[in-house]
């Protein structure tokens, strides 16, 4: 009945203020800000804005990472690149013809770190994420050195590196991780094993037992992802537990990739990763820039009731309730009830599901909605749900529905459930209950003036476990189609 649903469920994001605080606390951005404030008239940079080697130890000391020894200079160089790429510092060309190095000044974004709002901070953080993403998909430096020709140009053919393919692979992994996080019943806030993420991109869905070649590809992907997630963690995108280095020795040959674990092994040793709340925000922002529909709870809060009820068709139960609560919070109860009931009307294919979501939304409102609900008691499309709402609140003066309304509501309810969930087991109980409570149900049902009558009866024929009842449903569906001229 329904059209194809978007593949991405809505995400529940933290507030922009909370996300901005997380962004400022990300270690890599924190270091970039510190170096931007440390830079002065004596700071020297190369042609690409990179900090000269001689000043890297001083930068590392400023960051509390030691001097020339250890990894401090490398971390300082990384943080400096982020400062340049995010506009925290601005590299300036040499002022004199014979000058060897350029200088730097404060970038226009540096003042926004303290004076800007959450959106300003998040924009800076997204620029930093793009820079780190580019680093994560760049070729390994050792391979890069071997691919530089005599003319100084990089021979990409010799490098065997496809930048678009590398970026697409990482984006695919991050997209899968996002989907696992936002899907109800998925990983949620739990970390995901690295082998599972790698396999999600490599192992075909219809493959039973992976071949040795496929397992080798998964192992190689795991090690590449291990490097990439180590880069992405300092920007605050993920929480990551790296692959246990001891696995290399256990494989027997130094440098071999670890074989993906079997069922009884400790999978955590093979790497575990989860998106942070800031990471969810960042991946969603990247997907939306790529034209992917990635909704968030709250997107519909400032829209009309028609947009809410149509939009909820794509939301799982918990997200639908949260979205509806935000929508209701912005409106007076009586006004909200009138808007919802008006938007629930219609004879189009999506109307039954709109009415179902309207009914569910009305369960969240108080007695101030009663006048609006009573006003539709005589409405052919809304009178049934109005009676249900009033009965659930103990009203005793509700007029009994006509038989026509009872059967119309039954058809409408099943049509909505089919649209929302497909032919699931829960629907069998609904179908059996309706047929059991009303003798001659199918003889009356095929006469119901509802656009979905024939489709609903056909579905009841598939769902009802009693062969005789199923046959009656199919005969009733045929009558309904004949009656409608179809």
Per residue in 300-357, pLDDT (tens digit) is: 999 999 999 999 988 888 899 999 999 999 999 999 999 999 999 999 999 999 999 9
Q: Give the sheet arrangement for strand 238-241, strand by strand.
A: 192-193, 272-275, 238-241
pLDDT band at 254 (very low <50, low <70, confident <90, very high): very low
Q: Where are the beta strands (DSSP E) in 149-227?
A: 192-193
Angle, helices 212-232/118-136, rounded to nearest 10 degrees: 140
Beta bridge mates, 296? 11
Beta bridge mates, 11? 296
Q: By the 8 A CB rule, do 173 and 200 touch?
A: yes
Q: What is the mean pLDDT of residues 188-213?
A: 84
pTM across the whole model? 0.83
- φ, ψ for residue 45 (rounded to 5)? -130, 160
Question: Could you tell me the end-to-end alpha-carbon distance of the chain, in angstroms, rounded to an integer?
Answer: 16
Angle, helices 16-25/27-38, rounded to nearest 10 degrees: 70
What sign has the CA pseudo-torsion 169, 297, 232, 128?
positive
Alpha carbon 315 to chain centroid, angstroms: 12
3-state helix, strand, coil in the chain (%, to 5): 60, 5, 35
Q: How many CB atoms lie within 10 A of CB 288?
A: 13
Least trusted range by pLDDT, from 243-252, 340-349, 400-409: 243-252
Q: Is a pLDDT exceeding 80 seen at residue 68?
A: no
Using a pLDDT cut of 70, give the percent of the chain over it: 87
What's the pLDDT tens digit per position in 99-144? 678 889 999 999 999 999 999 999 999 999 999 999 999 876 555 5
Least trusted range by pLDDT, from 14-23, 59-68, 165-174: 59-68
Least trusted range by pLDDT, from 201-210, 257-266, 333-342: 257-266
Q: Is a pLDDT exceeding 90 seen at residue 169?
A: yes
Enumerate the H helices of 147-273 as residue ranges.
156-159, 163-182, 194-202, 212-232, 246-250
Q: Is a pLDDT exceeding 60 seen at residue 262?
A: no
Q: Is a pLDDT exceeding 80 seen at residue 62?
A: yes
Distance of alpha carbon 264 from alpha carbon 250, whole angstroms: 16
Q: How many CB atoms lie within 10 A of CB 326?
A: 16
Task: Please report where in the chains the tokens 């995010």 appear, as a residue.
Answer: 86
Query: Considering the chain, what is the average pLDDT of its residues?
Result: 88
pLDDT at residue 255 in the model: 47
Distance of alpha carbon 335 from alpha carbon 328, whole angstroms: 10
Q: Is a pLDDT exceeding 50 seen at residue 3?
A: no
Distance of alpha carbon 481 from alpha carbon 477, whole angstroms: 6
pLDDT at residue 2 in the model: 45
pLDDT at residue 250 in the model: 63
Enumerate the H helices of 351-424 as residue ranges.
351-362, 370-374, 383-392, 403-421
Q: By the 8 A CB rule, do 240 and 215 touch?
A: no
Q: Is 46 helix (H, G, I), strand (E, B) or coil?
A: coil
pLDDT at residue 102 in the model: 85
Q: By the 8 A CB rule, do 19 and 278 touch?
A: yes
Q: Is a pLDDT exceeding 90 seen at residue 371?
A: yes
């Amino acid at each position: 009945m329904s059209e194809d649903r978007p593949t991405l469920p809505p995400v529940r994001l933290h507030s922009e203020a909370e996300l901005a605080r997380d962004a400022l606390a990300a270690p890599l951005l924190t270091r970039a800000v510190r170096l931007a404030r440390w830079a002065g008239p004596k700071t020297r940079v190369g042609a690409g804005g990179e900090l000269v080697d001689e000043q890297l130890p001083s930068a590392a000391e400023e960051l509390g990472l030691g001097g020339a020894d250890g990894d401090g200079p490398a971390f300082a160089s990384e943080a400096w690149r982020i400062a340049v790429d995010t506009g925290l510092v601005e590299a300036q060309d040499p002022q004199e013809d014979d000058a060897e190095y350029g200088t730097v000044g404060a970038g226009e974004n540096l003042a926004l770190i303290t004076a800007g709002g959450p959106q300003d901070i998040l924009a800076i953080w997204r620029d930093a994420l793009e820079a780190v993403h580019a680093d994560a998909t760049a070729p390994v430096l050792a391979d890069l050195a071997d691919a530089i020709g005599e003319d100084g140009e990089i021979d990409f053919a010799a490098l065997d590196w496809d930048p678009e393919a590398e970026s697409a692979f990482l984006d695919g992994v991050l997209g899968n991780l996002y989907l696992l996080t936002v899907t109800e019943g998925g990983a949620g806030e739990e970390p995901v094993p690295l082998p599972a993420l790698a396999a999600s991109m490599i192992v075909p869905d219809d493959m039973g037992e992976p071949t040795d070649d496929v397992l080798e590809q998964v192992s190689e992907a795991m090690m590449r992802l291990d490097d990439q997630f180590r880069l992405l963690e300092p920007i605050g995108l993920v929480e990551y537990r790296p692959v246990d280095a001891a696995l290399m020795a256990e494989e027997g040959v130094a440098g071999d990739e670890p074989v993906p674990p079997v069922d009884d092994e400790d999978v955590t040793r093979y790497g575990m990763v989860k998106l942070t709340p800031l990471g969810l925000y960042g991946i969603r922002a990247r997907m939306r820039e790529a034209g992917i529909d990635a909704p968030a709870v709250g997107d519909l809060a400032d829209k009309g009731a028609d947009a809410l009820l149509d939009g909820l068709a794509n939301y799982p139960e918990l997200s639908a309730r949260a979205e509806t609560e935000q929508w209701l919070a912005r409106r007076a109860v009586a006004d909200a009830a009138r808007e919802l009931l008006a938007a629930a009307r219609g004879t189009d294919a999506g109307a039954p599901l709109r009415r179902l979501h309207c009914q569910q939304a009305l369960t969240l409102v108080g007695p101030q909605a009663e006048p609006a609900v009573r006003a539709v008691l005589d409405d052919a499309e809304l009178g049934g749900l109005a009676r249900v709402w009033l009965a659930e609140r103990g009203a005793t003066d509700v007029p009994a529905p006509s038989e026509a309304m009872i059967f119309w509501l039954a058809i409408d309810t099943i049509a909505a459930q089919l649209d929302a969930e497909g032919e699931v087991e829960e629907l069998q109980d609904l179908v059996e209950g309706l047929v059991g409570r009303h003798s001659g149900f199918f003889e009356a049902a095929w006469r119901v003036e509802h656009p979905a009558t024939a489709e609903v009866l056909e579905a009841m024929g598939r769902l009802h476990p009693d062969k005789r009842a199923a046959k009656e449903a199919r005969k009733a569906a045929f009558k309904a189609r004949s009656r409608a001229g179809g």
